[in-house]
Amino acid sequence: MLPLPRKHLTPPVADPTRAFYESLLEEKPDSAIAVRFCVEHGVKPLEEHKKLLKKYNLLREKGAFSVATKIKRALERKGDKLGIKKEKKDKKEKKEKGSKENAAQNSEKA
């Protein structure tokens, strides 16, 4: 019996989904979806499973499997991008406003 968090039955070796995630894990060992599948389905032998379980727990703590956390990060990134554009726009408007005021003052003096 494999340690937790095994949630599903282990798919047969000929299963194409299993083959996909195993090959993904070999090509990209840090793939969150591959780690999750292999741990939750108990695909790897016990020693490899323990190593993957450590990665799985680390990713889980970071919120890699939580949709709410992913949405929050995406909104923060979008806000950061919009904030940067807003700051640039504000600076540009201030600069234009300042140049208009200077032009108005110069025309009053003349």
pLDDT digits (tens, 9 = 90+) for 4-62: 677 888 889 999 999 999 999 999 999 999 999 999 999 999 999 999 999 999 998 88
Residue 26: both structure tokens together:
């070999």
Q: What are 62-99's pLDDT values in tens digits?
A: 888 888 888 888 888 888 777 665 566 666 666 666 66
Return d(Cα 97, Cα 72) in angstroms, integer.
36
Return d(Cα 6, Cα 17) in angstroms, integer.
17
Does the reported pTM lie above 0.85?
no
Q: Is residue 63 left, alpha or beta, with left meaning phi > 0 and alpha meaning psi from -120 to 50?
A: left
Residue of 18, 15, 24 whose CA lies nearest to 42: 18
Domain ranges for the chain, please list them.
16-62
